[in-house]
Amino acid sequence: MSTTNNWNAHPVGCRSAGAGSPWKEINLGSYPTVIALREALKEQRILIGDLADRMLELPSFHVSSSVTRIKLMVLTATELGLGIDSTSFAQVQAHALKMGLDLCPPEVGPQLRLQYLAQKVGEYLLIGMKPLHTASRIDACFVVANGGAGLLLIGRLARSDLTVSSQSQFVFALRQQQRDVH
CA 76, 173, 77: angle at the middle one, nearest 5?
15
Q: Specify which residues 143 forms β-bridges with.
A: 126, 154
Kindly state whether residue 181 falls inside one of the protein's structural domains: no
Q: Specify which residues 113 forms β-bridges with.
A: none
Q: Which domain holds residue 132?
A: 17-172
Q: What is the reported pLDDT for 178?
A: 46
Q: For the chain, how many structural domains are there in total?
A: 1
Strands (E), 83-150: 86-88, 101-102, 124-127, 132-133, 139-146
For 157-175, what is each residue's pLDDT tens digit? 998 888 899 899 999 999 8
For 128-165, what is each residue's pLDDT tens digit? 999 999 988 899 999 999 999 999 999 999 988 888 99
Q: Is a pLDDT exceeding 80 seen at residue 181?
A: no
Q: What is the reported pLDDT for 169?
A: 95
Q: What is the reported pLDDT for 71?
A: 97
Q: Are 139 and 162 in contact (CB under 8 A)?
A: no
As a three-state string, the secondary structure of 49-87 is CHHHHHHHCCCCCCCCCCCEEEEEEEEECCCCCCCCCEE
Kindly state whether residue 96 falls inside one of the protein's structural domains: yes
Kindly state whether residue 162 falls inside one of the protein's structural domains: yes
pTM for this prediction: 0.86
Q: Is a pLDDT exceeding 80 seen at residue 83?
A: no
